Amino acid sequence: MRALLLILALTAYAQEEAPGGRDQARSMVITKFGIVATSQTLASQAGAKVLEQGGNAIDAAIAANATLGVVEPAMNGMGGDLFAIIYEAKTGKLYGLNSSGWTPAALTLDGLKQRGITEANKLGVHRVTVPGAVAGWQALHDKFGTMGFDKLLAPAIYYAENGYPLTETIRDEAAAAAKRLAVQPGFKETYMPGGKFPEVGEIFRNPALAESLKLVAAKGRDGFYKGATAQKVLAFLKEQGNFMTATDMTEFQPEWVDPISTTYRGWTIYEIPPNTQGIAALEMLNIMEKFPMAEYGHNSGKALHVMIEAKKMAYSDMLKYVGDPRSSKVPTDWLKSKGLGEDRAKMLDAAHANCDPVPAELTERTAQGNDTIYMSAIDKDGNIVSLIQSNYSSFGTGMVAPGTGFALHNRGGLFTLKPNEPNTIGPRKRPIHTIIPAFMEKGQTRIGFGIMGGWNQAQAHAQFVANVVDYGMNIQMALEAARFTKGTFSGCDVMIESRVPAGVRSELTAMGHKIALRGAYSGSMGRGQAVERNGAGVNFAGSDPRADGEAIPEGPPVFGVKR
C-alpha cells in the first residue's frame, strides 16, 4: 500500500510539474565552455576536441568543417566555396569572410556562345569555378588560428583513411543524388564502391581524399592550389573542356568584408554583403518590421502571409540588382534601407497573394541547389564563428578529378548568360551566391546562426529572427519551429511543413497561396545550427533535428588535456 501511494504521489508531482509537456524536441546545450554545432556528430565532436586541446572557436570551426567534407560529402568539401562571420570577443569586432571562387580568366560570354552554350543550364563543366574552401581555411587560420593544420585536419584525415559509418539523412540524400551522378567522370570510382552507394551504418572510406587533406595539413593552401592536387584538378578540367589554368588557382584570394546589417525591433542582424543573397534576408526583415508579427501569432495565417509576400519582393530585388560588386555596381545601401522596406510594405496586399512579383526576365533561375552545410562554434572566451560551406547541388557537378577524392562544385550554374546584367557570366567573376552565414545581437546577447538550403536560406534566416525576436523562442526552439520555403521566384507556390495547422493552411489557400505540403521536419526547409553567448558569459547552442548532427560541448579540463 505504501509503495502504491508513493507511485501515485510521484505521478501527481510529475503531472503538476509539466501539465502541458514541452514545446521543443531537444534542449539547448548550455555550458561555460565552448560548443560546436554541426549537421554531423563526428564533425561536432572533432571541433569540440580541438577546443579541449586549447584551440579557439576558429580552430574548432576549421577542424569541424574539414571533417564535414569527409562525412557529409554531398553537401560540402574541398571542391566548394566558403563564407564566415567571426565575432572576436577581445575587441568586440565582427569580421566577414567571402571565400567564393572566380571563373577562369579565359572564360567569356562570346567564347561560350562559340561553343554553342547560350543558356546557364547548358554550362556543364563551366559551372566549375575555382573552389574557395581551402583558401578560406587559410584566411581564417592566418587571422585568428592558434593551432597548425596538421592538428586541425587530423580528424578529417583519420575518417577519410579509416572510414566512418554513414548516418541516416546524409546517406539517403547522397544516395538519391548518386543515381543521377553515377555517369559523371570519377564519381562512381570515388563514392560508389562495388557499384552502389553505401547503406546506413556501412563503413565508407575515401583514401584519395585523405591524401589531398594531408597535402593541406603539410603545406596549407599551397597544398591545394599548387602542387599535386592542383595538377590533378587542372588536367581533369582541361580534359573536360573547362578554361581554368594554374594562374586562376594560384592567384585566387578570399576577401575580408564588413558584414552588412539592419535592425529589427531592437536587435541588429548581420549578413555577408553581395555577391550573396544575404541582402534579401535584411530586406525581408525591414518589410516584416512594419507589421505586428507578435500580435498576429506564430505561424498564423496573417504572419505567414506577410513573410511569404516579403520573401517574394525581397528576392525579386535581390535577383535584379545583386552580382559580383567587383564588376558591377550593387546598390547595397538602398536594398537594405528602411525606406525601401517601408515602400515594399505598403505594396503588400494583406488579403491576397501576389503571384507575379518578379519581372519575366528574372524567372529563369529556381532553387536547384540546396546542398550545403552550416555550422557554428563558440569558445569559452566568447569568440563566435558562423560558417557556411557548400558544393551547391548534391556533390556539385559530381565530377571528381582522379586521385583527389572530392567532387568539384557547380556554383557557376548560378550565373546568367543574358548580357549586361549584374550576374552575367564573365572572366574572373564570382556568381551570385545562395550560401550565407548570419549573426544577431542585442545588448550583451550575441547569436551566430545559419540555415542551409539553396534559395531557402534568406527566407529561413528571417523566420529564425522572427522566432527569437517576435515570439520569444530560445535558439533550439527557433530552429525546430515549422517553416515555409518558396524556391521559385514567381507564382504563388509555397512549401509548408505539416506541423503548420490545417486551419492556417486553409486560410493561406483562401488568400491565393498554392501550398505544397511537406513532412513534419522536411529537408526542403534547410537545416540550421546556432550558438549564443549571454551577458553572464554562459554559452548556449541549438542543432536542427532535420539533420543528423548535434551541438557538442567542450569537456572540462579534468582529464589532463592541454589548455
| Closest to 101 measured CA to CA, from 504, 535, 428 | 428
Q: How many CB atoms lie within 10 A of CB 143?
A: 13
From the number of C-beta atoms within 10 Å of its C-beta (0-12, 13-18, 19+), residue 232 rates as: middle
* pLDDT more than 90, % of the chain: 88
Model confidence at 550: pLDDT above 80: yes
Flag whether 24 is in a domain.
no
In 169-300, at which residue ranges do the beta strands (DSSP E only) sit?
A: 203-204, 255-257, 260-264, 267-271
Q: Is residue 53 assigned to a domain? A: yes
Interval 466-474 mean pLDDT: 98
Please indicate, yes or no, if residue 243 is contained in any of the structural domains: yes
Helical pair 154-162 and 41-52, crossing angle rounded to 10 deg = 140
User: How many domains, the chain?
Assistant: 1
Q: Which residue, among 463, 462, 467, has the nearest Cα to 477 in the 3D structure?
A: 467
> By C-alpha distance, which of 472, 466, 463, 473 is closest to 528?
463
Give the residue numbers spanning the domain of 61.
Answer: 40-74+101-110+124-253+392-414
**Number of neighbouring beta carbons within 10 Å of residue 119:** 11
pLDDT tens-digit series, residues 271-295: 999 999 999 999 999 999 999 999 9
Q: Is residue 202 part of a domain?
A: yes
3-state DSSP of 462-493: HHHHHHHHCCCCCHHHHHHCCCEECCCCCCCE
Percent of the chain at pLDDT above 70? Answer: 93
Q: Quick check: is 198 in a domain?
A: yes
Q: What is the pTM of this model?
A: 0.94
Cell of residue 41, nine digits? 556528430
Residue 11 has pLDDT above 70, yes or no: no
List strand residue ranges (DSSP E) for 211-329, in order: 255-257, 260-264, 267-271
Distances in Å between the Cα of 436 and the Cα atoms of 163, 321, 470 are: 30, 17, 22
Which listed residue (31, 190, 276, 372) is catalytic? 372
- β-sheet with 514-518: strand ranges across: 484-485, 493-497, 514-518
In a domain, 171, yes or no: yes
Query: Cβ distance 58 to 145 under 8 Å?
Result: yes
535: in domain: no
41 is catalytic: no
Beta strands 445-451 and 438-442, pairing class: antiparallel
Q: Which of 97-101, 141-145, 355-359 has the lowest mean pLDDT?
A: 355-359
* Sheet hosting strand 528-533, strand order edge to edge: 29-31, 539-543, 528-533, 445-451, 438-442, 267-271, 260-264
For residue 344, is it within any domain? no
Q: What is the mean pLDDT of residues 16-20?
A: 53
Question: If phi over 0 gives left and psi between -120 and 50 gives alpha, with beta otherwise, what is residue 173?
Answer: alpha
> What pLDDT does residue 362 have?
32
Nearest CA to 541 among 105, 179, 34?
A: 34
Asked whether the predicted pLDDT for residue 369 surpasses 70, the reply is no
Q: What is the mean pLDDT of residues 389-394?
A: 92
Give me the residue label for grid cell 501569432: 297
| pLDDT tier for residue 561 given thresholds of 50, 70 and 90 | low
Q: What pLDDT is recorded for position 430?
A: 96
Burial 301-327 (b: 16+ CB within 10 A, else e): bbbbbbbbbbbbbbbbbbbbbbbbbeb
